[in-house]
Structures are given as structure tokens and as C-alpha cells.
Amino acid sequence: MTLGELIASWPVLRQIREGDLRGLGRAAQSPRSRTLTPRIDAADRVVQSVCPYCAVGCGQLVYVKDGDVTHIEGDPASPISRGRLCPKGQASKSYVQSPLRESTVKYRRPYATAWEELDLETAMDMIADRIVDTRAATWETETEDGNPANRTMAIANLGGATLDNEENYLIKKLMTGLGVVQVENQARI
């Protein structure tokens, strides 16, 4: 490098020459970082969504390429979060794509020491059988003081934050229809 090139590469001179007086733009870039492009550039569409992790319900922009999620950013249009996401929301792409994600039903039989995999239909039938049997065996038509009850106190529903409003609505409807009165969830916006 010649003396002239060395002086020209001096950061203060680059900042003045490139109109970047605070050194936050081009003057702070290296030859390598100049060639980098944002990873959202590869997306062929952007979908507005809501982070499923907690009850805050931050707005998300989900970048998609060929049907796969490539990146998730905060949505500046959201009045809830105004473009921000916490680390869980930032990492929510893994909620869909992580290789560690469980995608089959795991069941451990009574007294078993290991999990076995069940197909979804078998698992759903087992759950339905248990609900029907428990409901029939524990049905209360009256309370202890003789008022109408028509309920079971032997089944409860505990939901999680990843359920959305519509899913919670359907769960509450199902539980009420079954006579289940112990229904809890993490509220969503």
C-alpha cells in the first residue's frame, strides 16, 4: 500500500470523503462487509404474523422463499411491539424448522421406562376414550348443596401461550360442551 493509499484509508478521511461523518455507514464498512446482502433479500414474499411464544403477541414479518421460512423480523406496523422482538421471538423460525422439534406423538405406557412413538390417529383415539370414560365415571348432576351442576371435576384443561385466540375459543367451547369447568390458558391479545 502506498503512503497516499494509506492516508486515504484513514477512517476520519473516509468519513469526510464519503459523507458519513458519524462513521455509521459506508465509512465503517470493510471490503467484505460491502459485498454482504441482507438475508431477507432472498425472500420471494413477506407474511405478517404474530409471535406465538407469549401473551404479548408481538407483530412479525415472516420472510418466505419457495414455501420455507427464511427469516423472521419484528413488524414496525404492530402497535404492540413497533418492530421489536425479544430473543424468543427472534428465534421463532426454529419453532417451525428446528431439527430438534418433536413431530411425532411420544407415549410412555404405565410402568414403562422408555417412550414409544404412536401415530396421531391412535393417540387421538386413546385420548378420546379416556375423556369419555372419565367423564362418565365422574359426572355430577348436582352440587353438594343440591343445585344443578352437570359437570365433571376430574378433567381439566391447561393451555399454553402458543395457542391463538381462535384455538382458545374452540377449546373453551369443547370443554364447556363436555362439562369441564376447570379451563385455564395464557391470555392472548
User: Which residues of this chain interact with ligand SF4, rule CB under 6 A?
Assistant: 51, 53-54, 56-58, 81, 85-86, 88-89
Q: Are strands 180-184 and 148-158 parallel, antiparallel or unpaired?
A: parallel
Closer residue to ligand SF4 in complex, CB, 61/155: 61
Closer residue to ligand SF4 in complex, CB, 58/69: 58
Taking the complex as a whole, the smallest distance from the CB of residue 78 to ligand SF4 amounts, in Å, to 9
User: Would you list the DSSP string of 86-150?
Assistant: -HHHHTTHHHHH-TT---SEEE--TT-SS-EEE-HHHHHHHHHHHHHHHHHHHEEEE-TTS-EEE
Coil, strand or helix: which one is 46?
strand
In whole angstroms, how far apart are CA 31 and each of 5, 9, 26?
15, 12, 10
Closer residue to ligand SF4 in complex, CB, 43/51: 51
Taking the complex as a whole, the smallest distance from the CB of residue 81 to ligand SF4 amounts, in Å, to 6
Taking the complex as a whole, the smallest distance from the CB of residue 46 to ligand SF4 amounts, in Å, to 17
When CB distances to ligand SF4 are compared, the closest residue is 89
133: exposed, middle or buried (Cβ count in 10 Å: 0-12, 13-18, 19+): exposed
Closer residue to ligand SF4 in complex, CB, 65/82: 82
Taking the complex as a whole, the smallest distance from the CB of residue 50 to ligand SF4 amounts, in Å, to 7
